């Protein structure tokens, strides 16, 4: 069975600084997708960024980028120029290419941004 682990329950960053959230996963599959979701206090889950396992190039979305290390099964999220609106719970998630829409989530990292 696949598992996703986020070892940092809480993180804090100063506004305008950079922060990296860690995520590791375990799978025996070769074809899968990885995601980072943001859940603000409103509880609305929002997709931040996604990565296809077969792509070596790391995904980037504006201030958000990932460091995907397939051999190490590591998928970290880097947030540059942090803003107050980035404060939220961040979830790393795994989706197999063979299991439809099923997402397996990590336990989450609560990010606070200090002004």
Interacting residues with other proteins (CB under 8 A) = 33, 42-47, 50, 52, 91, 95-97, 99-108
How many Å apart are CA 115 and CA 108, to the nearest integer? 23
* Nearer to other proteins among residue 106 and residue 113 (C-beta): 106
Distance of closest approach, residue 97 Cβ to other proteins, in angstroms: 5
Are 7 and 107 in contact, with CB atoms under 8 Å apart? Answer: no
H/E stretch holding 21: strand 19-21
* Nearer to other proteins among residue 15 and residue 26 (C-beta): 26
How many Å apart are CA 79 and CA 19, to the nearest integer? 5
Distance of closest approach, residue 1 Cβ to other proteins, in angstroms: 9
Distance of closest approach, residue 110 Cβ to other proteins, in angstroms: 12
């Amino acid at each position: 069975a696949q598992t996703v682990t986020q070892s940092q329950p809480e993180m804090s960053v100063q506004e305008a600084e950079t922060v990296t959230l860690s995520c590791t996963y375990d799978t025996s599959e070769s074809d899968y997708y990885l995601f980072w979701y943001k859940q603000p206090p409103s509880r609305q889950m929002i997709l931040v960024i996604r990565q296809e396992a077969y792509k070596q190039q790391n995904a980037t979305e504006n201030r958000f980028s990932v460091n995907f290390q397939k051999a190490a099964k590591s998928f970290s999220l880097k947030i540059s120029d942090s803003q107050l609106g980035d404060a939220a719970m961040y979830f790393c998630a795994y989706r197999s290419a063979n299991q439809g829409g099923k997402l397996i989530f990590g336990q989450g990292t609560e990010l606070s941004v200090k002004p």
